[in-house]
Structure 1
Amino acid sequence: MSDNHHELIAALKSSLIGQRYSLVVARNYCAYASGFLDYLGQRGIPVADVIDVHVEQYLRHAIVQFEKQRGRRPSARWREVPRSGIHALLRLVHGQWPPAIKPACEADEVRFSICAEYEIWLREERGLACSSVAALMWEAWHFLAWQIDHGLNGLAVLSVTDIDHYMDLRAPKLRRCSLKSVTERLRALLRYLHITGRVTTDLSGHVLAPTLYAYEGVPSVLDRGQIIAVLESAEKDKSPAGLRDYAILQLLAAYGLRSGEIRHLRIEDIDWRTEAIHVHHHKTRASTFLPLLEPVGEAVLAYLRSGRPSTDVREIFVRTRAPYRKLDKLYSMVRRRLRDAGVQPAGKCGPHIFRHARAVEMLRAAVPQKVIGDVLGHRSTGSTAPYLKLATEDLRAIALDVPGMELVE
């Protein structure tokens, strides 16, 4: 191994330790990264020129070597550790991994330019949230790539027939709700292309979407007994992950918060002296101060004291393994905790079912719809209405009599 390789491995080890990886994990990552550097050196490939193909070629080579040395093939998940170590090395060298895609031709350069301008427009002109921008950009990238792949090199000649062909390609694997979202994202792109003069005619009106009727689908909801069962099951797990999950489930059950609101909750958002919690509603860009309920406060405090790893990250809930950063999602955790408690909702089983349950509980406690909307962080009562359809019997009980109906036999 060259001196440069030794320096890279030493820098990698220092970086991993700085991110609080365990010594065992750091040692394993460095060992696989070192093997990868040896592989590159034997083939005369500078590490600065590495692409995804080289990583996959090395992993296939490593599997062959594993089989020769041990007389058997590695497990299906064996690749994860070598790949993670190699990716950590490449992030150190390249600054990011996977690297940014580079344009391969003039058409690619046009597509990259349009997407870069479109993203700025979505953020600065329309002021959309990051999640909305990401969804719109995904559709833009794929539509423009499809346009190039099908020989439609000029957007100026884009026609309704071309739009129909693209939608025919997207539609078969999508449900009606998802298909409607695709049409809305495609309409936004076509309007932008027309506004900026890249398409002569506004084709957005020709993108047909399926009709979705108000309240046509009833979401899943948990009853109070199921919620208690899930909380009791999670409370028994005293591991760091268990303490974290229990605190998250308490927040879900008590306030019906969105997944993102919990994941972005920061240490300074809880005022222990006044016993209040400051919730930032990223979807509506509003905020709410809620009383810190005792079960929630105790669960969060137990996690902060005994479960949360030492890290500079300000978000309360972080990964249990290095690198310690905020959680990317809650769906898998909620689904696992429901399964462990023996709770099987009829439909979806993500964190949103706790939100539905909280709305129904407040309705049954005679809480006004406006107050329910305020707690849930809604901007209008219309946003709250879909949650209340879950309590059909409660709504029927408070329905007003229709004048004149007493005359009908």
Structure 2
Amino acid sequence: MLEFYFSYKGVLKRLRSGALGDEMDRLAEHFFTLGYKRATAKSYLSRIAHFSQFAGTRCGPMPIHQDVVDSYLRTFTTDSPRIGAVSALGHARRVAPERLIVSVPSKEDDPDAPLLASFSDYLHRVRGLEPKTREGVLLGGRRFLDWFRHHHPGQNLETLTAEHVLAAAEHRLSLSATSSSRTAATSHIRTFLRFLCWAGHHHQDLARVVPRTPYWRLAHLPPRLAWDDVRRAIDAIGATMPVDIRDRAVLLLLATTGIRNGELRAIRLQDIDWRAGEIFVRRTKGKRDRVAPLLEETGAALADYILGARPKVESPYLFLSFTPPVGPFKCASPVSRIVRKRLRHGGVELGRVGGAHLLRHSLATQLVRQRTPINEVADLLGHRSINTTVLYVKVATSQLAEVALPFPGGVA
């Protein structure tokens, strides 16, 4: 398989020598299967071959342990080649785990690991929290433990007092810049303390000691764009390159259905009902499925993408990354980058807030301004409570002015 990327016999001989020489053809097939560009695959293979030569002088045919990898990485004096080498060795470990033995950190390296694992299990099995929510709460627990270990080294959690909790909460609040982050910080501490009592790590429920922070959910207007700006950004996307066709379909789907980032990434080809003009949205934030309308323009953009631009790989998911390894988006960041990039190319100025949720807010605002009944907006967005959708009523200033009562003593 190496012959697909390299043609000179001397180069092939060098690549197949060293500690990983017998694995190089498997690695070449690995990059080919994942759809990497030829130049990228050759770069990875060359880096692995360089490490293979280095490891061959130290361990021969024996398995390569972490100390050899660390010694190799210390030979680099700048960050860029070291980062490239780490990425290449990551592929080698996945293809030949029996040849690259990675050392597993012992529990002594992190004495709180078992406790945090138990806390994560509690959040999943007892509290029923979704993975993304668990990450935030788990981080809050980790931060509380770090503060306690730093300020009271050597002490057991059973010695935790109300004074300790108040001091830790004050520390976290001092690092929080917004009312929402302050509320989240104290909520995470409260959840962790309840877990400590529930699991028997402390005899008292100290959660009641954590101060409540004021947070008025409807005090601010949601970040949003003018609908003309959204339309201009979509129209500015070309239709010549496959990536342009995909990005236009992504923005149209987000802007016309209001689906969330994770919901877009979970859409499968079979979820589109072309005849009914609907799209099935799986496992939403409210833990229930729903159906969103598929407008004619959005459906045409999706058809163009599927028929002419979607990579020819075996995947049930609708939207795929064009960056190797080709496949579905694994996290929210790529979709957010697509949205922000296309909005900026369309001349839209963005602040800190951007991504799929900005288009969701913009659609809801536009529908309310068009006097769409609030319960229909709630159904489209998948809100379980209409109180969540009420937020968007605040932006309909012209309609609110019509229902305002006259000022006492003023002109009727």
Alignment check: 8 A CA contact 2:183 2:213 kept: yes
In structure 2, the CA distance between the partners of 1:169 and 1:78, relative to structure 1 (3 Å rule), is farther
Q: Deviations over 1:354-379 (max 9, x none)?
A: 11121122112222111110100000
Contact 2:44 2:88 in 1 (8 A): yes
How far 1:137 sits from its partner (Å)? 2.1
Which residue of 1 is the match for residue 106 of structure 2? 102
CA contact (8 A) 1:220 1:346 kept: no
Displacement of 1:16 in angstroms is 2.1
Q: What letter matches 2:393 in structure 1?
A: L
Equivalent residue, structure 1, for 2:49: 34
Give the CA deviation at 1:158. 1.3
Normalising by the residue count of structure 1, what TM-score does the alignment of the two structures yield?
A: 0.85
Q: Is the 8 A contact 2:19 2:52 kept in 1?
A: no
Question: How far did residue 340 of structure 1 move?
Answer: 0.8
CA contact (8 A) 2:64 2:101 kept: no
Equivalent pair of 2:377/2:389 in contact (CA under 8 Å): yes
Quote the residue 1:318 is aligned against: 320
Match of 2:298 among 286, 290, 296: 296
Deviations 1:201-228 (A, max 9, x none): 1111222243112322222211121011
Mapping 1:9-408, distance limit 5 Å: 9-44=24-59, 48-50=64-66, 54-55=69-70, 58-63=72-77, 77-94=80-97, 101-104=105-108, 108-109=110-111, 111-149=112-150, 150-176=152-178, 177-234=180-237, 236-327=238-329, 328-329=331-332, 330-345=335-350, 348-397=353-402, 399=403, 401=405, 405=408
1:61 aligned partner, one-letter code: T
Rate the CA distance shift 1:343–1:88 in 2: closer, same or farther, 3 A.
same
State the one-letter code of the partner of 1:144: L
Mean Cα deviation higher: 142-151 or 293-302: 142-151
Q: CA deviation at 1:251?
A: 1.0
Q: Structure 2 CA distance, aligned partners of 1:307 and 1:317?
A: 10
Asked if the contact 1:87/1:97 (under 8 Å) is kept, the reply is no
Partner of 2:129, secondary structure, is coil
1:67: which partner in 2? none
Q: CA separation of 1:345/1:127 partners in 2, compared to 1, >3 Å: closer, same or farther? A: same
Three-state SS of the structure 2 residue aligned to 1:389 is helix
User: What is the letter of the counterpart of residue 49 of structure 2?
Assistant: S
In structure 2, the gaps of 5 or more residues are 1-15
Question: Using a 3 Å threshold, how does the CA distance of structure 1 residues 312 and 173 change in structure 2: closer, same or farther?
Answer: farther
User: What CA deviation, in whole Å up to 9, does each residue of 1:101-159 have, x standing for no partner?
Assistant: 53126xx45x2222222222222222211111122222233433444455144111112
CA contact (8 A) 1:363 1:388 kept: yes
1:50 alignment partner AA: Q
CA distance in 1 between counterparts of 2:376 and 2:174 reads 41
Q: Hey, what's the Cα distance between the residues in 1 that align with 2:50 and 2:34?
A: 22
C-alpha displacement of 1:54:
4.2
Mapped partners of 1:199, 1:238: distance in 2: 63
Q: Is the 8 A contact 1:152 1:158 kept in 2?
A: no
AA matched with 1:243: I
CA, structure 1 residues 10+212, in 2 after alignment: closer, same or farther (shift >3 Å)?
A: same
Change (3 A) 1:405 1:172: closer
Q: 8 Å contact 1:279–1:287 — kept in the other structure?
A: yes
Q: Structure 1 residues 99 and 315, CA, compared in 2 at 3 Å: closer, same or farther? A: farther
**C-alpha separation between the residues in 2 aligned to 1:162 and 1:188?**
16
* Secondary structure of the structure 2 residue equivalent to 1:277: strand
Change (3 A) 1:30 1:171: farther
Aligned-residue RMSD, C-alpha: 3.0
Give the Å deviation of 1:94.
4.5
Unaligned runs of 5+ in 1: 65-75
Gap change, CA 1:10 and 1:140, over 3 Å in 2: farther
Which residue does 2:10 correspond to in 1?
A: none
Q: Once the 2 structures are TM-superposed, how far is the Cα of residue 310 of structure 1 from its aligned partner?
A: 2.0
Q: Tell me the alpha carbon deviations over residues 267-289 of structure 1, each in whole angstroms, 9 at most, x when there is no partner.
A: 11111233211112521011221
Q: What is the aligned partner in structure 2 of residue 69 from structure 1?
A: none
CA distance in 1, matches of 2:219, 2:95: 50
Report the Cα distance in structure 1 between the residues aligned to 2:91 and 2:320, rounded to whole angstroms.
20
The residue type equivalent to 1:102 in the other structure is: S
Contact 2:19 2:53 (C-alpha < 8 Å) held by counterparts: no
